[in-house]
Structure formats: structure tokens, C-alpha cells
Structure 1
Amino acid sequence: MARRKPNPVEDVIAIISRLPWWVGVALALVAYVGLHSFALREGVAVVQPGNAGEFVTRTVFRTLAGVGQYLLPAVFLVGAGLSAYGRHTRRTLHRTVATGPDHAALNKMSWKKFEALVGEAFRRRGYSVTETGGDGPDSGADLALKKGGELFLVHCKQWRTIRVGVSIVRELYGAMTARGATGGFVVTSGVFTDEALAFAKVRNIELMDGKALHALISGVSVPPRFFRDPLSITTSGAPFCPECQSRMVKRKAKRGTHAGQMFWTCSRHPDCRGRRPA
């Protein structure tokens, strides 16, 4: 199949659609005012000897400005419209999942919607979000987050039943190294293998499974420090609760058949009964 030729107009619209809608509107206004004023300039009434080239150049630019004063703002406004529509779609998607009883809805959406949902969830936690992925679900780092002058990369994996392995985490780590990112997140609607968890633990990468993502979207069961200081979370060594994804604390059993043995219990105990073996 022949490769599709690039379209500059579509490229500009795509870029503007990733920016806040008001940026596109402002650019449209600036473009119209600037080109309109240039198009209204009067040309030289009489061509002076030796100035024919300048006369032709001015005429060409004035003609282009006359067309561009309508075309370029229209392109910017289309991009602004797509940006506003995308923002509305992401908010609606976020609200739908946040009000759902569980994270089952995550498994029913396309990878593109999943990526948009993750971006919206981080945006609501104060991050500026830029979509960096390509046209497929396996494009490396899909989102770039910035907060407090630091860069974080996000790799989205909308897999429904497959466990996310260590190769995906390594892929994100490579992107982090190349771009000098402070940390990263791998987000999935499924779960992670033990190898992936071990690899991420010492590399400032946070792994968020379906339960953690749903908790993030719902605004519950996520430690407040998670979004203020990601590095303190990824290097603390305490695992996440399998029930609510809060951090866990180590305790010693005082009675029963496991008396004297250490185990992890949810920091929200007794509201949450999640446990893990130490």
C-alpha cells in the first residue's frame, strides 16, 4: 500500500487540537488581524525602474495574505473545536468510569479512549498532559506529564486479561532514560507479572493496575502523597493493597496459627481488610 502523503493543514489541525481550545481561538484572532492588515496595504502605484522585483514580491505576498486571512484562522478554529470536543469527551468518559461500581468499564473501551481517560485522570491531579503516542496502542510512552518542573512518562496498556510483563516496563524505562524523565507510570486495566513489579520497584516507575486506575479516577483509596511526590512512593518499598491500592504497613501476627509471623496489612485498616504475606 502506498504511503499517505503528509498534509500540512491536517498536521496543523492535529497540533492545535492537542492544545487548550482557547489557544486555537487566540491564534486564529492573531492570524486574522496580522494578515488582514498586510492584505490592506496599498501597492506601489507606479513601478519605478529597478523595483519591478519588489513590486511583484509585494503583490504576491499581499495576495497570499488576502487568502490566508480567512484560511489560516479557519484552520486554527477547526483545531480549537476539536480540542474543545476532545476535552468534553474526556470529561464525560472520566465521569462515566468514576461513577461506575467497579473497573469493569475499563475493559470495554478502545485503547484510544483508555489513553484519553488516563490522561484526564492525571490532568485532574494537577499535571499538564501531552499526548505523545502514535496511531496504535503500542507506541511507547503515550503521555508526557509535567508538574513542578519535572517530567514523567506514562505507558498505557489497555489489556483485558493478559498480564503486563517486564518487557513493557523496560520499554518505558528506555524512553525515560532517553528523555531524562524523573519517573514514569505504566497503567493497565489488567495486572502485572512479578518480574515487572520487581523491575519497576528500583527504577522510579509506578505500576498501576485496573484497581489502582479505577481508584485514581474515582478519587478514593489513593494516598494523597502519590501525586505530590511520586518518587517517595516508588522508593518506599511498601507494596500496594490488593483491595484498594493504598500503601501497606508491616505488622506481626499476635495470635492464631501465624502468631509471630510478619505480614503486610492495609494502612486503611480496619476500613480495608487487604493483606499480603511479608
Structure 2
Amino acid sequence: MIPPAFEYTRPESVDEALRALAEAGDEAKVLAGGQSLLPLLRMRLAFPELLVDVGRIPQLRGVREDGDTLVIGALTTHHEVIRDPLVRRHAGLLAAATETVADPAVRHRGTLGGSLAHADPAGDLPAVALALDAELVAAGPGGRRTIPARDFFTDYFQSALAPDELLVEVRLPKTDGWDFHYEKFHRVAQAWAIVGVAALVRRDGGRIAEARIGLGNMGSTPLRATAAERALIGAEDPQDVARAAGQAAEGTRPAQDVSASPEYRAHLARVLTRRAVLTAIGAG
């Protein structure tokens, strides 16, 4: 299909991009890698009057350390995230989950910031951001503000970003020494996950001392499986993990659609949480 007509601008700095967004108001869309936005345009599910292409802004790329925090530019591609030694060392869950995103072509063009700002609850990386306790930094006319991942996703394809704001970086607490695994179920290769589970656990003396479980496609936003997280504390063997994982769907509101019923998604959340945690601790 042919997308609707729109104006196009390609700023060369964050300030220039913010001016363009401010002038266009609600009628602008940010174009990063384009792997989520372009299909929406072609299917005429989005009708922006202006596309602000931020793909040539160098300040939005790259990975760096800031003490105990890893800082990733919003325009850093999935491929760059996967290969970056700092990400692999200090945020292994992000690298592992990003390796499962779509296909190599998409991973070379799609960006971390674009995926998060798209706010698709079926996406892989929003649930990972929740599990990692990420913070997302937005730039706007009033300066920069930091938004915890738990507050960033507000509804289907909606985030806390204002129309005149731009996501500029993602900040991740380092998780050295944590065990992790990303597990998802999809019907065919490259399809959206029917349910995705991002598991991050810290053990002490062979027992789980802390757990973070991010769920994808179990509601209108990515969610944390807080009941299962609490139940996993003290878990030592597969039976303990299985009992805790049985609480993974508590507090969720999975959708009914052509892919699955709410009941089936709840079942998948329990099964995939068990698999993800057992694999993370080497017992899967």
C-alpha cells in the first residue's frame, strides 16, 4: 500500500529535532530505524503531517558507562546492542533478548529507542526494560527528564513521551552476577510473541535472593509478574520454581485476539516463566 502524504525533515542535532517537533505539535512522528513506523504508514494506520527523521543525529548513538549504570543512545541499533561488549558484560538480558528480535535485516535497521517508544506490549524489549529497571531519558523544550520504565508505558502503543519530546537515551543499572534468560512463544519465526518472559534472578548460597520477571503481551502494557517475583525468593530447586511460576499471570489482563485467548496466554505466562527461570539458573 501507499502511505498518506507527509512532509519530511532530517535534523542534524537534538535541538533541531525538538524545534521541528514543537512546531508540528501532535501532527509529527519521529522516524528512527523505521521498522515499526513504516509498516503503520503503509497500512494507513498512522497519518502524520510531518516525519522527523533523527537517523543522522550522532549524539543519539553509542554505549557508555556511567558508574554503576550503562547508558545506551536511543538510536543504537539492535545489531549494535547485541555486539557491544559493555552490553554483553553488564546487561546480558538485553543482549540475549535483542538477538531474538525479528530477523537480521530488522536488527540492522531497528533501534532500541524506537522499539521502546513504539510501546507495543507484544514487543520483546519493553518487557526487558521493565525487568532491568531501566530509566528512559526524554529531551523536550523544558530540558531533560528521566522516566522509570514502570511509568513509561501507558497503554497500547502509548508512552509517557509528550508530542514535543524525544527519547534520547536508555539507562540500565548494571546486572553483573545476575542470571538471566528471555523466553517467548510465537507461532512462526519472526512473528510477534504471543507471550514473552524476561527473567532476571540473583542467587545467594544457591537460593534465589531476588527476582525480576517482565511479561510481554499480557496486557495493554508490558508488566512485572510481581506475585511470582515474591514467590521465587528463597527458591532452590525446580519444584520451588514451578510453584512460584504458577503465580506469573496474577494481576494481568491478557487480550483476546486471533492468536490466543486470555486463558491460553495466562497458561503460557506460567509455563514460560518456569522455563525462563530454570534456564537462567542452569536447571532448565
The structure whose residues are more often strand, as a share, is: 2
Larger radius of gyration: 1
TM-score between the two structures when normalised by the length of structure 2: 0.28
